[in-house]
Structure 1
Amino acid sequence: MMRTDQTFIISFFIRKKKNQPEIANLYTRITVNGRRLEISLKRTLPVEQWLPDACRVAGSSKEVIQLNSKIDQTRALLYKAFDELQREGQLVTSQLVKARYLGTDVKHKSLQDLINYHNTNMISVLKKGTLKNYYTTGHYLEDYLLTNYRTSEYFLKQINYEFILGFENFLRSKPKLHNNGVMKHMERFKKMMRLAGDLDWIEKNPTKRFKLRFDKVDMVYLTKLELEKIKNETFERPVLSINRDVFIFACYTGLTYSDVKALTKNHVHIGVDGNKWIYTRRSKTNTSVRIPILKEAQEILDYYKNHPKIDGTDKLLPVYSNQKINQYLREIAVKVKISKKLSFHAARHTFATTVTLANGVPIETVSKLLGHHKISTTLIYARVLDSKVSMDIDNLRKKLIG
């Protein structure tokens, strides 16, 4: 029930700087039931421009307009804080009004509260790699607060569009982060703020207005000639041969790194055609996929079935860490004189393009093998294949001649 027996007065005043008496700091004074408390507005102005009776700054310059706007905004927010506390039936004090105005009272959640809540409650929802990416975004947000705001505690109600743009610029200042990396962090920040909205921790979500701008990235895949070069190369270092073979296996199955790493003997079954198939689920989407094991992939499985690195386990292949295997793949690319920036994910692209689509496998089948929910996702691969276009046109020519 709203209390009506409480008085509330707001005034504004200036205080001269000791080392610059011609410049003053701007303050507001709130008085609740006769008890006063001052709040710095963190703004300065020339002493001669202050109009004490009007509580305004004299002049019409851009700076003066901004200062007077700050005064009006502060007055409105203080009244709002007071009214909220009254509606809650509290015996309002000047300290409570200040805390509500600054967002430091217990009703308001901080950005750190949101990061902690997300990371704690999403452990059973998100994959380990995805959660790790959120940890990194959270660390960047914490660094941003310390660097730009000199604090580790920042309230969600304080986050505005200026804060969001500042975070984007902060990320862009990191030498190892390119545009798409910046956008991925901004995307995760937007998702966390959407969670804050769902939890009713914020009234409005300012990140809704921020548009993600990803650069188009050329898809890296191996041509038939490049694939053969890697397959037939002899390496002196066994570690290169192992990682090459695991990569080639992925080129003939279309599986991602995490899916290949997770493969065990229990994933191999006899399919409808009497041949060996891999029955598994994509770690990223939990989509069920069934993949016939081609001869090239089976030869690799046979070769490594008794390898010391997996002996005594039910693992199918000796898979190194993602970071290590990508490091070895770059070394392999240099060795076989392939100028492409090779990573493990290029194997999945190679399966979709060179191994399947280029050999006439229908796009619907390729989509099913890749575990895509929408065929439009798979169509991306079809667009990059000039050889497939050429082959289809050749078939058309033959039909037209006939």
Structure 2
Amino acid sequence: MTVQRSYFTVLFFVKKSKPLKNGEVPICMRITVNGKRAEVQIRRSVEAECWNAQKECAIGKDRKHMELNHYLETVRTRVLQIHRELEQDGKPVTAEILKRNYSGGSDSPRMLVETFNEHNKQYRELMGRDYVRGTVLRYERTARYLGEFIRERFNTADIPLKDVDHDFIMRFERFIKVEKNCAQNATVKYLKNLKKVIKEALANKWITEDPFFGIHFKLTKSNRVFLTEDELQLIINKDFDIPRLAVVRDIFLFCAFTGLAFTDVQHLKHGHITVDSNGEYWIRKAREKTDNMCDIPLLDIPRMIMEKYKSHPTCIKKGVVLPVPSNQRMNSYLKEIADACHINKPLSTHVARHTFATIALANNVSIESIAKMLGHSSIMTTKIYARVMDKTISREMQTMRRKFAL
């Protein structure tokens, strides 16, 4: 008995009548079995003028088009493999069955944005326990950017996880930088968020290949702003007649002598202030961003500031140490303070934290102690904030200067 083999073809074509927002046209795959057709969107696109309809591939030898053509061959090979396996198992072979098997079998394929949103929902439920608000918002922003990118690139709301490959990641990186105007380090944070969700998908066996394999994140060195001791002294000595500027100046100085970040000083309560057996005052508070404990000795200036606002109505009402306004107002008023003190630097609440790390290092405080006070898990993080000032270099070169003096 002769077994009749099915007539089977795979064809790639573009839909010029449905161009995407980026000007490219989507590529589709048509599976034909015994005259019956089924079409599949393969989540790829190309410039219309770069498509060779006869050869069913992109024209050009550049990396982008070569990677696209390689992907098309991978898709074709996968469909051929599915067809062969169905025949070997004696199962029925139709265009719809091949389409369904290629798209993930009888079950719907696991989708990228849907999976990301499930991850973010879990993070939001644990916000305030395992994760801080800023981390949750960054993951949610990543998911939103992904959704916008997929709609612009593929003209659809979501794509299967298995369609995320090296090219997808590279294009998403460009989208974040160009469309969202993000700098390199911010872009890396969003890509790392995507990588975490992909790793979870690998662990759950929703996908079998890691699209991030061979991709390395490169952070650029940050040139963080800080104040010198002389500039800090200008702010200390300046008299402000406007009450709001005087308050913000005091809060800035408090942060510059304690290293507290804005959200930590905003929520600093008297219960976070302790006195040891030697009568020294300390701030002992877990950082809101990382939950790492900060142990900071209170110097005279922040102690005086703390006492100054003990009876302030806002402090009494909220049970806090200082009447800290919103971060937006703080930064706005700090610009006025910089102008009044003739400091040509963009002052912000975080500049105070950078200043603390830099001045502490310049005054022989060890990097380990600075890390402990800043609440850093790694000294490598502290090194980003710390700056070696000219006077430190000059002091450390005194021995050589004396030895080789003429």
- TM-score, normalised to structure 2, is 0.79
Which residue of structure 2 lines up, in the alignment, with residue 239 of structure 1? 244
Deviation of 1:141 after TM superposition, in Å, equals: 0.9
Deviation of 1:296 after TM superposition, in Å, equals: 0.5
Change beyond 3 A, Cα 1:329–1:29:
same
Superposed CA RMSD: 4.1
Deviation of 1:299 after TM superposition, in Å, equals: 1.0
8 Å contact kept, 2:149–2:172: yes
Residue-by-residue CA offset, 1:8-42 (whole Å, 9 max, x unaligned): 652146999999xxxxx9863343xx793322678
Q: Following the alignment from structure 2 to structure 1, what is the Cα–Cα distance between the partners of residues 347 and 85?
A: 59
1:28 aligns with 2:30: yes
Q: Which amino acid aligns with 1:10?
A: F
Aligned length: 382
Deviation of 1:96 after TM superposition, in Å, equals: 4.1
Which residue of structure 2 lines up, in the alignment, with residue 386 of structure 1? 390
Residue-by-residue CA offset, 1:336-377 (whole Å, 9 max, x unaligned): 2212222212111111122x2222333333233223334444
Which residue of structure 2 lines up, in the alignment, with residue 370 of structure 1? 374
The correspondence for 2:262, drawn from 249, 257, 262, is 257
Which residue of structure 2 lines up, in the alignment, with residue 315 of structure 1? 320
Which residue of structure 2 lines up, in the alignment, with residue 11 of structure 1? 9
Q: Following the alignment from structure 2 to structure 1, what is the Cα–Cα distance between the partners of residues 278 and 92?
A: 78
Deviation of 1:84 after TM superposition, in Å, equals: 7.7
- Greater shift in the superposed pair: 234-243 or 389-398: 389-398
- Greater shift in the superposed pair: 146-155 or 194-203: 194-203
8 Å contact kept, 1:10–1:75: no
Percent identity of the aligned residues?
Answer: 32
Which residue of structure 2 lines up, in the alignment, with residue 359 of structure 1? 363
Deviation of 1:68 after TM superposition, in Å, equals: 8.6
Change beyond 3 A, Cα 1:74–1:134:
closer
Q: Following the alignment from structure 2 to structure 1, what is the Cα–Cα distance between the partners of residues 117 and 341?
A: 47
Q: Which amino acid aligns with 1:131?
A: V
**1:283-294 alignment to 2 at 5 Å?**
283-294=288-299
- Greater shift in the superposed pair: 98-107 or 183-192: 98-107
Unaligned runs of 5+ in 1: 20-24, 51-55
Q: Following the alignment from structure 1 to structure 2, what is the Cα–Cα distance between the partners of residues 72 and 305?
A: 72
- Greater shift in the superposed pair: 188-197 or 376-385: 376-385
Which residue of structure 1 lines up, in the alignment, with residue 147 of structure 2? 142
Deviation of 1:89 after TM superposition, in Å, equals: 11
- TM-score, normalised to structure 1, is 0.80
Q: Following the alignment from structure 1 to structure 2, what is the Cα–Cα distance between the partners of residues 218 and 185?
A: 21
Q: Following the alignment from structure 1 to structure 2, what is the Cα–Cα distance between the partners of residues 391 and 62?
A: 59
Partner of 1:309: helix, strand, or coil? Answer: helix
Which residue of structure 1 lines up, in the alignment, with residue 76 of structure 2? 75
8 Å contact kept, 1:49–1:57: yes
Residue-by-residue CA offset, 1:291-324 (whole Å, 9 max, x unaligned): 1111100111111112122223321112222233
Unaligned runs of 5+ in 2: 18-26
8 Å contact kept, 2:270–2:321: yes
Which residue of structure 2 lines up, in the alignment, with residue 22 of structure 1? none
- Greater shift in the superposed pair: 165-174 or 248-257: 165-174
Change beyond 3 A, Cα 1:96–1:322:
farther
The correspondence for 1:128, drawn from 124, 128, 133, is 133
Deviation of 1:145 after TM superposition, in Å, equals: 1.1
